[in-house]
């Protein structure tokens, strides 16, 4: 499960000071020295019981313009600071089942009941309310290829809540959790890793189904870069798009991009030509690409 961290003692800090100190030192949540700096700063910000209300009111008065321009996440996310050094600070709102937001959007909008891991490290602390509930699982990423339907051999750890003041480090491709709504509206604060490498790493959505005895299988890999979507379109529009897809299918360093380039080329072809394109993917060096192409061949 995520690493439980004892928040260090210290004074109350305001958002501007926390952002400035993190920008000065940088953020690397995989590095112990960097993590130690982050925990002290996030704990100091969490002790500030006024900053978030003040920030929310200021944004409302400004018609939420900045949030609409810079927030790449859902409406439950309130962006606090985005740094050019590859991280951002955010607040997450977690509605209870009886809240209007839950009734309007349903559980899926808040990832409730959707077991998943993350393709980045992030540090989180409970700021307000009883906190969301999570069932936590561990798995060994070194033993997993990332194929759809692949068993993860999950180990259930515990069910617990992210209550006020509790701090945890979620580890990329290690911790899986299935979240449930809190008893009442809750807010968490996060320091999120946002390095350039992250969009190229897969995230796993997991089925905890009875057939596997709760050990879990990969059912989706939702990460997709804008370039991959553009590639799917470009092959239909220009010869240059097809040339780029050919290059990506054969030599792109990210297996998922190779698979999507092969899928884009296969979508142009028919019959035996389509099969020939996919057969090339079956010979790829990566198990995920081979498995995807075998599944597409069977369709």
Instruction: Report CA-CA distances (Å) from 172 to 83, 180, 194, 244, 255.
Output: 20, 21, 12, 31, 18
Domain closes at, from 169, 194, 220: 220
Instruction: Give percent above pLDDT 90 in the chain.
Output: 75
pLDDT at 297: 94
pLDDT at 212: 61
Q: What is the pLDDT of residues 134-160, one digit of tens each?
A: 999 999 999 999 999 999 999 999 999
Judge if 283 and 169 occupy the same domain. Answer: no
Average pLDDT over residues 251-261: 95
> For residue 74, is pLDDT > 80?
no
**CATH value at residue 74:** 2.60.120.10
> For residue 58, is pLDDT > 90?
no
The count of domains in the chain is 2
The tokens describing 135, both together, are 């069932």
> For residue 186, is pLDDT > 90?
yes
> For residue 125, is pLDDT > 60?
yes
User: What's the pTM value of the predicted model, to 2 decimals?
Assistant: 0.87
Domain closes at, from 220, 241, 276: 220
Q: What is the pLDDT of residues 84-117, one digit of tens each?
A: 888 999 999 999 999 999 999 999 999 999 999 9
Judge if 131 and 244 occupy the same domain. Answer: no
Residues 89, 94, 99, 100: what is their CA dihedral angle, to the nearest 10 degrees? 50
Judge if 112 and 28 occupy the same domain. Answer: yes
Instruction: Report CA-CA distances (Å) from 212 to 53, 89, 151.
Output: 45, 37, 8
* Top-ranked range on mean pLDDT: pick from 10-14, 74-78, 195-199: 10-14
| Interatomic CA distance for residues 203 and 195, integer angstroms | 15
| Interatomic CA distance for residues 291 and 277, integer angstroms | 14
Compute and round to an integer the Cα radius of gyration of the chain. Answer: 21
pLDDT at 277: 95
pLDDT at 110: 93
pLDDT at 271: 82
| Interatomic CA distance for residues 66 and 48, integer angstroms | 22
Domain closes at, from 188, 220, 252: 220
Domain assignment of residue 290, given as a range: 226-297
Average pLDDT over residues 45-70: 77
Judge if 31 and 54 occupy the same domain. Answer: yes
């Amino acid at each position: 499960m995520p690493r439980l961290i004892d928040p260090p003692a210290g004074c109350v800090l305001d958002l501007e000071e926390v952002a400035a100190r993190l920008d000065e030192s940088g953020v690397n949540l995989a590095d112990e020295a960097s993590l130690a700096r982050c925990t002290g700063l996030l704990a100091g910000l969490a002790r500030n019981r006024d900053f978030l209300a003040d920030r929310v009111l200021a944004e409302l008065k400004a018609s939420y313009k900045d949030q609409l321009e810079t927030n790449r996440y859902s409406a439950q996310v309130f962006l606090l600071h985005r740094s050019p050094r590859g991280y951002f600070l955010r607040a997450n709102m977690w509605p209870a089942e009886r809240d209007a937001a839950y009734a309007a959007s349903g559980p899926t909008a808040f990832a409730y009941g959707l077991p998943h891991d993350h393709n980045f490290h992030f540090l989180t602390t409970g700021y307000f309310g009883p906190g969301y509930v999570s069932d936590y699982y561990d798995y060994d990423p070194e033993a997993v290829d990332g194929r759809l339907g692949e068993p993860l051999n999950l180990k259930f750890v515990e069910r617990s809540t992210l209550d006020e003041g509790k701090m945890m480090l979620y580890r990329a491709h290690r911790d899986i959790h299935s979240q449930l709504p809190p008893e009442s509206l809750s807010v968490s604060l996060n320091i999120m890793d946002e390095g350039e490498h992250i969009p190229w790493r897969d995230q796993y959505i997991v089925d905890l189904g009875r057939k596997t005895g709760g050990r879990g299988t990969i059912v989706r890999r939702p990460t997709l870069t804008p370039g991959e979507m553009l590639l799917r379109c470009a092959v239909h529009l220009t010869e240059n798009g097809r040339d780029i897809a050919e290059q990506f299918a054969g030599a792109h360093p990210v297996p998922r991009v190779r698979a999507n380039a092969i899928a884009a080329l296969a979508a142009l072809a028919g019959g035996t030509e389509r099969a020939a394109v996919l057969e090339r993917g079956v010979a790829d060096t990566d198990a995920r690409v081979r498995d995807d192409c075998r599944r597409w061949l069977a369709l």
